[in-house]
Structure 1
């Protein structure tokens, strides 16, 4: 069995009113890695941001009436990190909007949440989900 994290097979996707600014926030403040950004004029047709600890997201500029159009600012995600305290300090130090302070939860997780500049919600903690039954 390999120790490598498998390539993501589920890609959360969303749109932003100012995709360039949101990409900058997610890369510079949160710590995503900019893997690909394809532009169509002033808009982002498609962007892939990878999480250094595994997984990633896809996003682009808001296209009202488009086939995959979704209202910006309505996305939410839980991001797994083994460095929750370090990440919290970096994000808080950058002045991001903290919606739930870093705390140990009664269900055993240590986590915090933020809102990005578009209003999307992001929670961070070490919980990797329940093991699969086979």
Structure 2
């Protein structure tokens, strides 16, 4: 098995997400704008042992199929905040995927952010926001 990595080093905390259909979640995240850095196939056909997906504005998410790695994480229990310079463009991609909208695009009034939240196929919540802290 050949494992290829991009060589890009991300200087941040990486979220880890477990999925009952990691291949579908990987494709969903790629369609939203993530890029693949690393993919290690799992033991079962179509499963993913480990996948690293990078966000263009910085940061990385790790993804694996349920049962591939010992972890207390369970599908549909994560809530992730992704900083983006253009949440409206990401929302257009999410709508094209028919993602379930949890919170529509809003300009926050208590802090400077334009943001929205969608649920992925497993039910995890992904907030895409201009607020970076």
TM-score, normalised via structure 2 length: 0.84
5+ unaligned residues in a row in structure 1: which ranges? Answer: 1-5, 130-134
Matched residues in 2 for 1:25 and 1:72: separation? 15
Residues 49-64 of structure 1 mapped to structure 2, 5 A cutoff: 49-63=53-67
Q: Which runs of 4+ in 1 moved over 6 A?
A: none
Matched, 1:82 2:75: no
| Match of residue 126, structure 1, among 123, 127, 130 | 130
State the structure with more CA Rg: 1
Task: Give the alignment's Cα RMSD to 1 decimal.
Answer: 1.6
The number of residue pairs the alignment matches comes to: 122
5+ unaligned residues in a row in structure 2: which ranges? Answer: 1-8
Matched residues in 1 for 2:24 and 2:97: separation? 15
Matched residues in 2 for 1:87 and 1:44: separation? 25
TM-score, normalised via structure 1 length: 0.84
